[in-house]
Amino acid sequence: MSWGAELWDQFDNLDKHTQWGIDFLERYAKFVKERIEIEQNYAKQLRNLVKKYCPKRSSKDEEPRFTSCLAFFNILNELNDYAGQREVVAEEMGHRVYGELMRYSHDLKTERKMHLQEGRKAQQYLDMCWKQMDNSKKKFERECREAEKAQQSYERLDNDTNATKADVEKAKQQLNLRTHMADENKNEYAAQLQNFNGEQHKHYHIVIPQIYKHLQEMDERRTIKLSECYKGFADSERKVIPIISKCLEGMILAAKSVDERRDSQIVIDSFKSGFEPPGDFPFEDYSQHIYRTVSDGTISTPKQEGMKIDPKTTVGKAKGKLWLFGKKPKWSVKMGPALEDFSHLPPEQRRKKLQQRIDELNRELQKETDQKDALIKMKDVYEKNPQMGDPGSLQPKLAETMSNMDRLRMEIHKNEAWLSEVEGKVAARGDRRHSSDINHLVTQGRESPEGSYTDDANQEVRGPPQQHAHHNEFDDEFEDDDPLPAIGHCKAIYPFDGHNEGTLAMKEGEVLYVIEEDKGDGWTRARRQNGEEGYVPTSYIDVTLEKNSKGS
């Protein structure tokens, strides 16, 4: 099967076919280019989508902790990797397929042009040989006709009795001349014919088959190249399928990592206050006042000065203490700035914040320790090799590092003390709650000066139990006439401004009377010698409880 043998007379059709082959090659190259653009745009859109939904974190507190959120962000990361693989596909197609096709198309055009030029030259040479042969043939034919005419003229004069001998002789010479010229043209025609036949045989059996063979090989190579590009087009994507599969598997693993129980626990850890639920409210018997106003002959309980109650005061205080079931007081909403020991937070949240700060301080201390060790080693090297540096130049940095370490240790110790305090109080609160004396008159729902809530049963007891055995609920809730007895004294370790309502300002080293212990909310009730009372942070004072204190 050869174009030279089968298509020896189809030069024009082969010209059109090879041009169609190159056009088809370039059309496929254009298809690959558009596919590359689609892959690039797809990857770009995927990356923009990932960027749009990725979290914008401004602080560590805002980092997602829920497993459903973490799973979604892992899926976004996998999708970003998937977009990268689409870019790899586009790059591979551009280099291996499109670029190769464009280079091959250029070479193919050059080769086709060369082969067609050779074919046209061969055809032109054969046409030239045919014209030479045809010219010699026509010339031989013309000389033969002239010789025939000379023969007829000679025969006519030779048979004419009136013709002179000279005329006959001249006609004979003319005949011989024409016959000789005809013979020469005959020989030339024969030679041209033989030459043309040889060139024609060579053209159709050697030259043209060779040119057509090159064209056929060129066209077959074009077909093979297209086949290779088809395969490369698919291989460009098949190569990244394992990585894409890993991305998809990563998405599935992210979906399986979602743990609803863990998320629920995170919600508890994030919002748990550590307070106990409020207990039952005591019955307030307003009818006792009616019974006391009966006629003098009626037997009734003697009046006590401490039982005189101002209705306005009662209502005002009740509203302030029952905010859990009504509108929260303004001072509990607009709290002051965050305190260093986080005492403005509920116990559980305070414990978490303190633990986080201790962990951060320990990390900083470790960095400073590593830096100190490095400086000491460098100093030893300088002492052994003075040409490398001056050991004294490291002393300021070493002193600064040691100072930072001491400061961090003090901070860690202080925060650990606060942490131990809050952990001990949280543990003790439950014990006090179950062991409280049910015979005491109690008030639930008291708030600390910072707006935190305490449910300790003994919080509102205003004196020894025997002094209040005859009091009703109003005495425990609203009695403000008699000052509470001091149960100890305290010394201020740190100064406290006391800007918030209900707090008591104090200076460092100031000694105060303790009239009510810290019941787990981080506040202790204290009194100055001039009678001014208020709450101070427990972590800011050193408390000493004693019996028979002054100021009772």
Mind giving me the DSSP string for 211-237? HHHHHHHHHHHHHHHHHHHHHHHHHHH
Mind giving me the DSSP string for 166-203? HHHHHHHHHHHHHHHHHHHHHHHHHHHHHHHHHHHHHI
Q: What is the pLDDT of residue 382?
A: 83
103-138 as b/e: b if 16+ CB within 10 A: ebbeebeebbeebbebbeebeeebeebeebbeebbe
Q: Summarize pLDDT for 480-514 with one digit per residue, the tens.
A: 456 778 888 899 988 888 777 788 889 888 999 99
At 174, list the tokens: 């003319």
Architecture of domain 488-545: Roll (2.30)
Q: What is the pLDDT of residue 477?
A: 42
Element (H, E) at 347: helix 347-384
424-433 as b/e: b if 16+ CB within 10 A: ebbeebeebe
Element (H, E) at 524: strand 523-527
Q: What whole-number distance in Å separates Cα of residue 522 and Cα of residue 334?
A: 19
Residue 473 neighbours by CB distance under 10 Å: 16
At 145, list the tokens: 């006709």
Low-confidence ranges of the chain (pLDDT < 70): 57-64, 288-338, 425-482, 547-552
Q: What whole-number distance in Å separates Cα of residue 498 and Cα of residue 534?
A: 9
Q: What whole-number distance in Å separates Cα of residue 87 and Cα of residue 41?
A: 9
Q: What whole-number distance in Å separates Cα of residue 99 and Cα of residue 108?
A: 14
Q: What is the pLDDT of residue 430?
A: 54
CA 510 to chain centre: 56
Residue identified by tokens 């399986």 is: 256
Q: What is the pLDDT of residue 43?
A: 96
CATH number corresponding to 3-263? 1.20.1270.60
Q: What is the pLDDT of residue 304?
A: 43
Q: Summarize pLDDT for 404-455 with one digit per residue, the tens.
A: 988 898 889 888 888 888 777 666 555 554 444 433 433 333 344 444 444 4
Q: Distance of CA 199 to CAs 3, 188, 195, 210, 389, Å?
A: 20, 16, 6, 15, 95
Q: What whole-number distance in Å separates Cα of residue 233 and Cα of residue 96?
A: 8
Q: What is the pLDDT of residue 51?
A: 93
Quote the pTM value.
0.52
